[in-house]
């Protein structure tokens, strides 16, 4: 009887041990996270990565960002690495619904300030040393101040800066716009209200006017009309292939006076009803920061 009781106790202990083992959490693989940060105080750069001033006859303001989308992300070893020859971690869906190949906005990913835009397993990244980050930006949603009808309006802007985007419909803030066509880089729409009435306006900035900073343009150019913004790590990102912890990369984007217009009435305010027209909505620099 004692022997039988002992067997029962041992069996119970083994069962409890198995239960505990099966309840242990399975360790997840390490990831590399890319986090958007919008910085209106970061250096304002031109297309070749040099400090830029606002062109004569223009005016600009720093938008207040709501969210952003990108359609391509690549880490590259050095300044001589051709576009696409580095480690490509993301390429968003594209379609030909509108004719030419275009970014499919209906499948876009979005992230706001200090939010993760992309998270991929570190194992997807080849072991090595990376000094540059390339991010092809596609869409921006932000607020700017617009003058009109004697009022200053806090307007929301939907800004499409990818090389080409197919749009069925999109929402600015509360208003939905129906397009069902491709739109070229620089297409935009604003939504605001004055005297209690909502107003939606849309437009197209001139071809080639969207600023896309690329400090290594001489050794690693990007296609004209693309929005592949390039930035250098202060200290190279080293991947051993044996990482056990997540890696966070802050993608710090300069929004310093990035919304620029032709200031027809020379008052320094955006007055589209007085002839002011948008000429640039490009991001003004990128700094990748490993945390």
Q: Which DSSP string do the residues of the chain spell out, in sequence order?
A: -HHHHHHHHHHHHHHHHHHHHHHSPPPPPPEEEEEEEEETTS--B-TTS-B--PPTTEEEE--EEEEEEEEEEEEESSTTPPTTSSEEEEE--EE-TTSS-EEEGGG---B-TTEEEEEEEGGGS-SEEEEEEEEEEEEEEEEEEEEETTEEEEEEEEEE-SSEEEEEEEESSS-EEEEEEEEETTEEEEEEEETTEEEEEEEEPPTT-S----TTTTTS---TT--EEEEEEEEEEEE-S---S-EEEEEEEE-TT-EEEE-TT-SSS--GGGT-EEEE-----EEEEE-
| Model confidence at 168: pLDDT above 70 | yes
Q: What is the pLDDT of residue 13?
A: 42
Q: Which domain holds residue 115?
A: 34-290
Asked if residue 189 belongs to a domain, the reply is yes
Q: What is the pLDDT of residue 16?
A: 47
Could you tell me which residue, 236 or 16, shows the higher pLDDT? 236
Asked if residue 182 belongs to a domain, the reply is yes
Q: What is the pLDDT of residue 194?
A: 61
Asked if residue 2 belongs to a domain, the reply is no
- How confident is the model over 54-66, as a mean pLDDT? 97
Least confident of 65-74, 242-251, 269-278: 269-278
Asked if residue 239 belongs to a domain, the reply is yes
Q: What is the pLDDT of residue 193?
A: 77
pLDDT digits (tens, 9 = 90+) for 6-49: 333 334 444 444 444 444 433 468 999 999 999 999 999 999 99
Q: Count of domains in the chain? A: 1
Binned at pLDDT 50, 70 and 90, residue 198 comes out as low
Least confident of 45-54, 174-183, 193-202: 193-202
Asked if residue 8 belongs to a domain, the reply is no
Q: What is the pLDDT of residue 176?
A: 95
Asked if residue 4 belongs to a domain, the reply is no
Q: What is the pLDDT of residue 238?
A: 97
Quote the mean pLDDT of the chain: 90
Binned at pLDDT 50, 70 and 90, residue 197 comes out as low
Asked if residue 85 belongs to a domain, the reply is yes
Asked if residue 14 belongs to a domain, the reply is no
pLDDT digits (tens, 9 = 90+) for 139-159: 999 999 998 778 899 999 999
């Amino acid at each position: 009887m004692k022997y039988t009781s002992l067997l029962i106790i041992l069996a119970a202990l083994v069962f409890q041990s198995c239960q505990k083992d099966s309840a242990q959490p399975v360790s997840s693989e390490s990831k590399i996270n890319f986090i958007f940060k919008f910085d209106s105080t970061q250096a304002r750069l031109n297309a070749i990565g040099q400090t830029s001033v606002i062109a004569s006859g223009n005016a600009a303001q720093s938008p207040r960002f709501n969210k952003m989308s990108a359609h391509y992300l690549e880490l590259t070893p050095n300044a001589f690495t051709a576009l696409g020859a580095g480690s490509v971690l993301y390429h968003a869906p594209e379609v030909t619904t509108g004719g030419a190949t275009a970014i499919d906005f209906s499948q876009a990913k979005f992230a706001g300030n200090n939010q993760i835009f992309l998270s991929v397993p570190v194992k997807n990244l080849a072991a090595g040393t990376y000094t540059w980050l390339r991010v092809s930006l596609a869409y921006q949603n932000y607020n700017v101040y617009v003058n009109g009808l004697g009022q200053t309006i806090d307007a929301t802007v939907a800004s499409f800066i990818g090389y080409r985007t197919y749009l069925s419909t999109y929402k600015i803030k509360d208003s939905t716009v129906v397009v069902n066509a491709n739109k070229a880089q620089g297409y935009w729409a604003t939504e605001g209200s004055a005297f209690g009435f909502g107003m939606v306006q849309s437009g197209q900035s001139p071809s080639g006017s969207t600023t896309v900073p690329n400090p290594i343009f001489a050794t690693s150019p990007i296609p004209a009309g693309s929005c592949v913004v390039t930035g250098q790590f202060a200290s190279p990102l080293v991947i051993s292939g044996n990482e056990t912890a997540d890696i966070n990369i802050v993608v710090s984007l300069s929004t310093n006076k990035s919304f620029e217009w032709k200031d027809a009435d020379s008052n320094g305010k955006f007055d589209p009803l007085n002839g002011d027209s948008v000429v640039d909505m490009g991001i003004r620099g990128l700094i990748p920061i490993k945390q």
